[in-house]
Amino acid sequence: MGVIQTTKIVLCWELFEQGMQKGHIAQKFGVHRETVREWIRLISQHPEGLLGFLEQYRNAKKGERTKRKVDGLLKARIWSLREKNNDCCGQKIAYYLEQEYGQSLGVKAIYKILSEKYKLRSKWKKNLKRGELTIATKPRQVIQMDSVHFGMVFAFTGVDTFAKDVSVKLYPTLTSTDGQNFLEYSFTRFGHTDLLQTDGGPEFKGEFRKNVFSFAERFRVARPYKKNEQSYIESFNRTLRKECLGWGNFHPKDIPNLEKELNEYLIYYHTKRAHLSLNMQTPNDILKQHKLMADF
């Protein structure tokens, strides 16, 4: 292999001296043109010209190369950036690393460092076929959940896709423990469901997933960038903003006042607000027709 490569270098140099363009030389020998440019640059700068460069090239190929070591501080920064940014991807970590610390590292190297501490998802799982999304034909058959950001306050939301009745609770943080708490809170209303669906947010992982099958026969994560799969909860989230909490940002100290406003709205939503999709009935009307009790 070494003889073939050095022969290519010699021929590339000869053709360059004859006036052939570097791009044509690269195409002729099946090498990248940047490689050809680098060879010609190094030969031109070497005190002994072509022969000196070839000697240097052969010596560099002898023996194993010393592996580059990544210092512990850089690893710690990469792990910290991943955790701080909701288990983000390697490309984002590379961006944050450059922005915050002025350090540059390839995405492949970042994933290698991440694999030392975390169990990373295999690439093939991105396209893993998920269970079909059930179209509800009765209450409590399908429940969708999501979270809405209001600055430093987070509203966890859940909706029965058939009856359109909802459960909402406010939190000062967005963790899987909060997700677990909302799971238990909301199912005091929903009871049990055939299918519970969420997006892939961190609040619906960890502790949430450890407990989800106490309340649901099946759990499904909606496909990324497929908003129509979470259409019912997305629709309610817009309603929650438009008719109740608005589009402002709040501080955790605002939660007590917000909860009072929210509870008043939910009573109105369930008992008086007519729904076009329910033929101008309320969620409580639908629940009563199916002999289900409603909290309000």
Neighbours of 87 (CB within 10 A): 14
pLDDT tens-digit readout, 178-198: 999 999 999 999 999 999 999
Is the entire prediction scored with pTM above 0.75? Answer: no
User: What is the per-residue pLDDT for 296?
Assistant: 63
Identify the band that residue 129 occupies on the pLDDT scale cut at 50, 70 and 90.
low
Choice between 67 and 205, residue whose per-residue pLDDT is larger: 205
The whole-chain average pLDDT of the chain stands at: 87
For residue 3, is pLDDT > 50? no
- Ranking 66-70, 106-110, 228-232 by mean pLDDT, the lowest is 66-70
Contact status, residue 150 vs residue 274, Cβ threshold 8 Å: no
Mean pLDDT, rounded, for 16-38:
86
User: What is the per-residue pLDDT for 152?
Assistant: 94
Choice between 141 and 116, residue whose per-residue pLDDT is larger: 141
Identify the band that residue 63 occupies on the pLDDT scale cut at 50, 70 and 90.
low
pLDDT tens-digit readout, 225-265: 777 889 999 999 999 999 999 999 999 999 999 999 999 99
> Ramachandran region of residue 47, left (φ > 0), alpha (ψ -120 to 50) or beta?
alpha
User: What is the per-residue pLDDT for 55?
Assistant: 85
User: What is the per-residue pLDDT for 124?
Assistant: 47
